Amino acid sequence: MTQTESPAAATQPAPGASPNPLRRVFDFVGVQNLSLIAALAVLCAVIGSRNSNFFLISNIKTIGTTVAIVGILAVVQTVVMLLGGLDISVGSAAGLTSVVSAMVFTSASSAAFGILVGLLVGIAVGILNGVVIVYGRVNAVIATLATYAALRGLANLISDGRAQGYTGTDSTFVFIARGSGLGIPILVWVLIIVAAAVFLMLRYTDIGRNIYAIGGNPTAARLAGININRYVVGCYVLAGFVAAIAGILLTARTGSGQPTSGSQGLELQSITAAALGGVSLQGGKGGISGTVIAVILLGVLQNGLTILNVNSFWQDIAQGALLVVAVVIQQRRRGLRAYGLPR
């Protein structure tokens, strides 16, 4: 059975028999996604029963704009994890891009130029990560952990550890932060566009099929003629580019370039969302739909804890617990034995 966005059922109906409608729904949506949807429904019901303001349109829009930045990072983190890698530097890359885009905007008085330079910074970060991993033969976790620290330090160095520039009066940045289309905030539209583009790439192109193949069995992928090095560099460049988009959104939302505030912790949230959405840490399994549902679930949880006046530190505890639960479920499904125990 090949790895796709929604794996088909192992058992197919007999020829000539009409497929069970319920089975078709399960096959299309996926058991993992149905579990997330059920958990999301229960969570919404519990929070809504405690505070009716949770269901207000304004609060739903708040949840959407809150999860937009971490959502696009989780989508691209999904691609990297499907390849069998991990990118811990996405949060730092977003922070560096936020600072650079705001500082360039202030100097050139051009939002377009600031955004362009910010995107180029993200691409450069992606190339750096990919080259270090491929040609430096450094483990992806170690490589991106190093750039995580370096980029964070660089962002603080060039900004003096303070917010830089002010974009709150620029029409472009204001439109990104507060604009809407068809009643949906622009920030949410960016998430929808990024998620849809990556979904289509993974599901309907050779690039997507090759990414699944590399993550599932890199040896077989190499023997099949797939240039693994090119795909690794390409996926990390994509991660850097999307991290730059996240940084620009962060600049628009906060009205200034933020070296750490707003971007710190984004890497953990993106990894948590991808893992909770069913993406295997070993690569080759998972998809965008599960990641997006998991992002919404985390956003609802965060918003619910806030409107219920729960201590904000519990949000970090809940997020860490969800990551552990997601990984445990993955390991159990793969049938891996516990450490120190016989098979």
**pLDDT tens, the chain, 343 aa long:** 444 444 444 444 555 555 666 566 555 556 667 878 888 898 899 888 888 888 899 899 999 998 999 999 999 999 999 999 999 999 999 999 999 999 999 888 889 999 999 999 999 999 999 999 999 999 999 999 999 999 999 999 998 888 888 887 888 999 998 988 898 999 999 999 999 999 999 999 999 999 999 998 999 999 999 999 999 999 999 999 999 999 999 999 988 888 887 667 888 889 989 988 888 888 888 889 999 999 998 899 888 888 888 877 777 787 777 777 777 766 666 655 555 555 5
- pLDDT at position 14 is 52
Half-sphere exposure of 90 (CA within 13 A, CB side): 33
- pLDDT at position 291 is 92
- pLDDT at position 11 is 44
pTM: 0.85
Q: Name the residue among 111, 114, 148 with its Cα closest to residue 128.
A: 148
- pLDDT at position 10 is 43
Cα(274)–Cα(75) distance, integer angstroms: 7
Cα(291)–Cα(193) distance, integer angstroms: 15
CA dist 263 → 20, 92, 192 (Å): 46, 7, 20
CA dist 131 → 94, 117, 148 (Å): 19, 21, 15
Residue-wise burial string across 128-165, b where 16 or more C-beta atoms lie within 10 A, e elsewhere: bbbbbbbeeebebeebbbbbbeebbebbbeebeeebbb
